[in-house]
Chains A and B, each alone.
Chain A
Amino acid sequence: MLVMPREPPSNGDKGMSISGIPAEDRARLAAHYRMMWRIRAFEELALDGLKEKLVLGAIHPSIGQEAVAAGVCCNLAKDDVLLSTHRGHGHTLAKGADPVAMMRELFGREGGNCGGRGGSMHIADFEVGMLGANGVVGANMVIAAGAAHAIKLRRERRVVCCIFGDGAINRGPFLEGLNWAAVFGLPILFVCEDNGFASTTRTQNVTAGPGASARARSIGLDAVEVDGNDLIAVDRTVRSVVDQIRAESRPMLVHAKTYRLMGHTGSDPAAYRSQNEVERQWLRDPMAAAASALQDLPQEELEDARAAAYAEMRRAYATARDTPFPPPDQAFLDVQDEGSPVQEAY
C-alpha cells in the first residue's frame, strides 16, 4: 500500500495563485477547499472502516479527485439535481449530504441515507437534490436526461448535473443521453470525471478517439476541457458553464482530467501501474495544489480546514460504528406498493 501524505506541503506546486481574485471568490474557494478536506477525510476514514470490516461491501475511493467534486457540486444550487457514479462519496458530500448518514450507510446501519438497503454504490440524498449514485456504469446518463426533461416540462430553472467516469463513454447510454439532452434542449451539465481508468483497465487502451469532450462536440454540444486537479480552474469553468446552461436551457459537457490515486475499489492494490507513476501523480495531489493556490489565505484557516475535516469524519465514523444494524423486517420495506413480498416468501 502506498503511504498517503496527510500534511499539505509547505511549498506546493507553483502556477496557481489566488492573487487578484475578488474577495467573494476567495470565500467560496476557501469553502471548496474545506469541502475537499472533508471528502479526503471521509474517504480515508471509510478505508479505515473497510480494514476494520465495518464497511461491508465494495467502496470506490475518489482520493485524488476531490477538486472535481468540490469544484462542480459546490457550485450547484440546493434545488439543482445531481446524479453520480459508484465513485460518488465526494460528489454526495459536496452536494450537501450528511456524512454521519453516509458513514452509517457504508456500515449498513440504521439511519443511513438509504436505511442500510443501498450501501456506498447507491448513496442518495433526495433532500439535497442528490438523486443517487449508481452501481451500473453510464446508467445515470439517461436518468439525468429524464430529470432534466421533467424540469423543462415544468418550466423550472433548475439544472441537472450528471457526473460520469471516462469508462462510461463506451456505453450506449452515454450517446443516448447526450443526444436526447441536445435534441430536447435540456439543462444538463455533463461532467466526465476522467481519472484514466475504467475499473482496472487504462481507458485509453479500450477507447477510440480523444474521449468525452470530442464525442460530445461531434453531436453539437459545447464541451470544455479542464485540469480536474486544479480547483480554481474547475470552479471557474463550472460556474461559467452552469450559468450558460441555466440561461439557455441546453446541455454542455465539462471534461475534467484527473487521476485516481487509489485502486478501483478500496481493496484493489492497483498493481497494474508502477509505483513510480503513482508517486509522480501524488506530486499533483489536488489537496496540495489547492493549498498552494490559496496560500494568500490565512495559514491557520487552511490548517483548520484539514483538522476540522478529520475531527468531523472521526465523529461520523464513531457514530456510525455505534449505531445498530436495521431490524431484519426492514428487508421488505419499500419494495413496492402492490403485492407484499413477505406473503410470497415460501
Chain B
Amino acid sequence: MAVMTYKEASRTAVAEEMRRDPMVWALGEDLGRGGLYHQYLGLVDEFGPERIADAPISESAILGVGVGAAMMGMRPIVEMRISDFALCAIDELVNQAAKARYMFGGQARVPIVVREPVGIWRSGAAQHSQSLEAWYAHVPGLVVICPSNAADNKGLLKTAIRCDDPVVYMEHKNIWEVEGPVPDGDHLVPLGVANVLREGKDLTIVSWSDAVNRCVVAAKTVAAQGIDVEVIDLRTLWPWDKARVLSSVKKTGRLLVVHEAVAVGGFGGEIAATVAEKLHGDLRSPVRRLGAPRAPVAYAPTLESMVAITASMVADTVRGIVRGDAS
C-alpha cells in the first residue's frame, strides 16, 4: 500500500495495464508532454511515442480512431482533455462506440476507455467545468465511471481498460493532487459495486466523484449534532449498485442524492425515482436531491460558487430533512 495522488494513481493504472497488454495504447492531445494535467507524465519514456500518441486537436478523430482501432482488437485509452471538449465527438461516442456491437449484431466489440475529466476547477468557466455524466448514463451500451479517490482511480481505471464495453471515465479535476492510500499491484475495483464510506442509521447520502468527499465532511459535521449519516460512493453510474442503495435506504428511511451536475435531469433523479418506486412505504421523509442550479458555470469566484455544491450545503440539507420529518 503506497500513498499517492489521484493523478499518480491513474498514471500507475495506465502503466501497469500497458505493461500487461500490448494492445493497450493511449492517444490524445499533448500526451507526449504528459497531457493537460500531467496524468501521463513520463509514460512516453517507457512506452514510446507510438503507444503514447500525440494527437491533433481533432476530437472526432481522436474518439473515432479509438473506435476503429478497438473494432480491430486494440484497447485504446482515448484522452479527451475535458468532458466539455468530448462533445465535439458526441457522434463517435454515442452513435458509433455505444452502438457498434448492437447494430452489427454482436460482430463488433469497442473496448475503449474515454477519459473525460469533469467538474468545476480554477475558474474554468462555462466550457471547462461541466459534469455531464448523466448524458452518458442515459445511453445504452456505455459504462460510466466517476472515481472519487486515489485508490478507486487506480482500481477502476484498470478495470475500465480490461472492460469489453466502451467506458466513459470521468475523473474530477479538483482532486488530481489529493493523496490517498493505494493498493499495490493488480488492484481491480469491480463495476457496479458502490463503496460505503461511512455507515449510519438516520439518513443515506448517495453521491459520486468529488461531491462525495464533501458529503463525508458534511456527515462528520452533522454527526457532532447527533445525526448519523450513511455515505455511499456510487463509483459507477452504469452499472449502478441499486441493491446497495436500496438496502441502505430501507435501513435509514431517508435519502439525499448529491451531485455537482445540474440537478434537472441529473442522474440523481434516476436514483430518487428508483427509491421512490421500490421503497415508498419505508420512507420516513421525502427523497431529496441536491445538485447545481440550471445555470452555466461562471468565471468570477463570487458567481462560480453559486452553482457549487459545498459540504455546508449538504449538512444544511441533511439537517433540514431530519428536522423536517420530526416536525
Contact = CB atoms under 8 A, between A and B. Distances in A.
A74 to B, nearest CB: 22
Nearest to B273: A346
B179 interface: no
B200 interface: no
Nearest to B88: A172
A266 interface: no
Interface centre among B58, B73, B74, B104 (most CB of A within 10 A): B104
Interface string B56-90: 10101101111111111110100000000000000
A117 interface: yes
Given A118-B104, A147-B71, A180 B58 contact: yes
A285 to B, nearest CB: 33
Contact of B25 (A115, A136, A153, A180): A153
A338 B192 contact: yes
Given A117-B105, A132-B108, A139-B92, A335 B68 contact: no
Interface stretch (B3-11, B34-42, B120-128, B135-143): B135-143
A114 B101 contact: no
Interface residues of A, number: 48
A335 B141 contact: yes
A142 B60 contact: yes
B43 to A, nearest CB: 16
A150 B73 contact: yes
Given A183-B56, A346-B277, A334 B105 contact: yes
A111 to B, nearest CB: 10
A132 B100 contact: yes
Contacts of B69: 146-147, 149-150, 153
A338 B68 contact: no
Nearest to B63: A142
Given A179-B56, A180-B61, A336-B140, A146 B71 contact: yes
A131 B100 CA distance: 10
- Interface SS majority for chain B: mixed
Contacts, number: 151
A117 B96 contact: no
A145 B65 contact: yes
B105 A112 contact: yes
Nearest to A112: B105
Contact of B101 (A148, A150, A334): A334
Given A139-B91, A146-B72, A336-B142, A124 B61 contact: no
B136 to A, nearest CB: 12
A338 B277 contact: no
B90 to A, nearest CB: 11
B70 A334 contact: no
Contact of A139 (B55, B64, B66): B64
Contacts of B51: 153
Interface string A77-90: 00001010000000
Nearest to B61: A176
- What interface size band does chain B fall in? 35 or more
Contacts of B96: 134, 136, 139, 143
B70 A153 contact: no
B164 interface: yes
B188 to A, nearest CB: 14
B107 interface: yes
Given A132-B108, A143-B67, A337 B165 contact: yes
Interface in A296-346: 333-339, 341, 346
B105 A114 contact: yes
A132 B104 contact: yes
Nearest to B237: A339
Interface string B230-242: 0000000011100
A150 B108 contact: no
Given A143-B67, A177-B61, A150 B106 contact: no
Contacts of A145: 61, 64-65, 68
Contacts of A143: 64-65, 67-68, 71, 92, 96
A132 B61 CA distance: 17
B119 to A, nearest CB: 24
B174 interface: no
Contact of B72 (A116, A150, A179): A150
Interface in A60-117: 81, 83, 112-117
B273 to A, nearest CB: 9
Given A143-B67, A150-B72, A179-B61, A336 B25 contact: no
B103 A122 contact: yes
A341 to B, nearest CB: 6
Nearest to A340: B239
Q: Which of A147, A148, A150 has most chain B Cβ within 10 Å?
A: A150
Contact of B103 (A114, A172, A173, A183): A114
Contact of A339 (B64, B68, B239): B239
A118 B105 CA distance: 7
A113 B58 contact: no
A115 B143 CA distance: 24
| Most chain A C-beta atoms within 10 Å of own C-beta, residue among B105, B142, B240 | B105
B50 interface: yes
Nearest to A125: B107
8 contacts: A113-B105, A122-B103, A124-B105, A126-B107, A143-B65, A143-B96, A335-B101, A337-B163
Closest 3 CB pairs of A and B: A146-B68, A142-B64, A114-B105
Given A117-B105, A339-B239, 13 more contacts: A113-B104, A113-B105, A145-B61, A147-B68, A149-B69, A150-B68, A150-B73, A151-B72, A334-B105, A337-B164, A337-B165, A338-B165, A338-B239
